[in-house]
Amino acid sequence: MKSAFTYERAGSPAEAVALLAKHGPDAMIWAGGTDMTLQWQQEKVSPTVCIDIRDISELDYIEIDNSGIRIGAMASLASLERSADRHHILTMLSDITKLMATPQTRTLATVGGNLCNASPAADLSPAFVALDATVKIFSALGARKVSMLDFFKGVNKTEVGPAELLEEVFIPLPDDGDVQASYKRIDRTVVDIALVNGSAAVTVGSDGVISKVGLGLGAVAPIILNAPDASAALEGLKLSDVTREKLAKVAAIAAKHAKPITDVRASAGYRQDMVEIMLRRSLEDSISKHGGTL
């Protein structure tokens, strides 16, 4: 049987965490509710209290300054979709949202909810990992920062503690040069989660040298993976020296980190082969966006 629950509306992060502390572990946060309502109906979770944070408008923003891009946890996928003109990294994130769900679901669904649901196949997480994003987590004690990589703890498990709230995702922008990123996924139908996905973010300094490479591998482990050895294999190279063969090698090193499983959507072998291709294409795309010729 679906659990019966009462409803509480939080008007601020402080109110939300106070309500969480007051009601205990069976009180659950509803942001857009696109994952929560389904999980409740499918009896995967049994909340006794719904804490609705939809109206916390102070967490609904997308801001850009010299240091980076800040996305509030309550920014909807629809507003991220409509932020494309504001920065080329937002263009790339906007393109990701267009792969996600449907227009009507994107108006409900939030960026914070996508991260906190912590699906290994979620679409925003690999790009945020590749972009070396950090998140801000709010509690009664104040705010703390966690790297996007360390945020994910397992399937549907994150760093967010029982009386905490995800507040913000911060994407750093380089002091020198620029960052370009790309995301690729394989899906079965239009409205379905990815079978496997991969993302790359490449920073090129004003001297034309690749100063930083971030990679994110999704749906090949319980959490999103990175691949520091593969990143290192590309860092320090001049943009003009990058070749298709080099990128293929980097993708192959990165794909070794994958620990895919077989499930109804795809076999482990298929995921293993495809994650390499997703990464290679993401790398090629990021290099091309920098004006690199391959």
Total interface residues for another protein by CB under 8 A: 30
Task: Figure out which of the listed residues 14, 18, 108, 268 binds another protein, where binding follows CB under 8 A.
Answer: 108
Minimum separation from the CB atom of position 48 to another protein (A): 9
How far is Cα 62 from Cα 80, in angstroms, rounded to an integer?
Answer: 8
Instruction: Considering the complex, state which of residue 66 and residue 104 has its C-beta at the smaller distance from another protein.
Output: 104
DSSP secondary structure of 165-192:
EEEEEEEE--SSSEEEEEEEEE-SSSSS
57 binds another protein (CB under 8 A): no
CB of 105 to another protein, least distance (A): 5
Of the pair 21, 252, the CB lying nearest ligand FAD is at 21
From CA 197, how far away is CA 195, in angstroms rounded?
7
Indicate which of ligand FAD, another protein, none lies near residue 9 (CB less than 5 to 8 Å, by partner kind): another protein
Using CA atoms, how far apart are residues 111 and 135, in angstroms rounded to an integer?
Answer: 12
Of the pair 59, 230, the CB lying nearest ligand FAD is at: 59
Residue nearest ligand FAD, Cβ-based: 113
| By CB under 8 A, residue 183 contacts another protein | no
Q: Which residue, 276, 281, 283, is CA-closest to 260?
A: 276
- Cβ count near 86 (within 10 Å): 14
Closer by beta carbon to ligand FAD, 90 or else 202: 90
No. of H helices and E strands in the chain?
A: 11, 13
Is 264 a binding residue for another protein by CB under 8 A? The answer is: no
Task: Tell me: does residue 200 bind another protein (CB under 8 A).
Answer: no
Q: Is 4 in the site for another protein (CB under 8 A)?
A: yes
- Output phi, psi for 128, to 5 deg: -65, -40
CA distances (Å), origin 183, targets 168, 197, 198, 262, 284: 21, 7, 6, 23, 11
In the complex, minimum distance from the CB of residue 241 to another protein, in angstroms, rounded to a whole number:
39
Strand partners, 235: none
**Which of 65, 104, 245, 264 forms a contact with another protein (CB under 8 A)?**
104
User: 10 Å Cβ neighbour count for 58?
Assistant: 12
Of the candidate residues 16, 30, 100, 274, the single one contacting another protein (CB under 8 A): 30
Binding to another protein by residue 39, rule CB under 8 A?
A: no
Return the one option of ligand FAD, another protein, none that residue 217 interacts with (CB less than 5 to 8 A, by type).
none
Whether the CA torsion 89, 94, 100, 101 is positive or negative: it is: positive
User: Torsion-angle region of residue 244: left (phi > 0), alpha (psi -120 to 50) or beta?
Assistant: alpha
**How many residues does this entry show for the chain?**
294
Query: Applying CB under 6 A, which residues contact ligand FAD?
Result: 28-36, 38, 73, 77, 99-101, 105, 108-110, 112-114, 116-117, 122-123, 160, 165-166, 191, 193
3-state secondary structure of 217: strand
Q: Is the four-CA dihedral 114, 115, 117, 122 of positive or negative sign?
A: positive
Task: Select from ligand FAD, another protein, none the partner in contact with residue 113, using the beta carbon and a kind-dependent cut-off of 5 to 8 Å.
Answer: ligand FAD
Q: Which run of H or of E encompasses 160?
A: none
Tell the smallest beta-carbon distance from residue 110 to another protein (Å): 12
Interface residues with another protein (CB under 8 A)?
Answer: 2-7, 9, 30, 32-34, 37-38, 40-41, 49-50, 52, 54-55, 78, 101-105, 107-108, 190-191
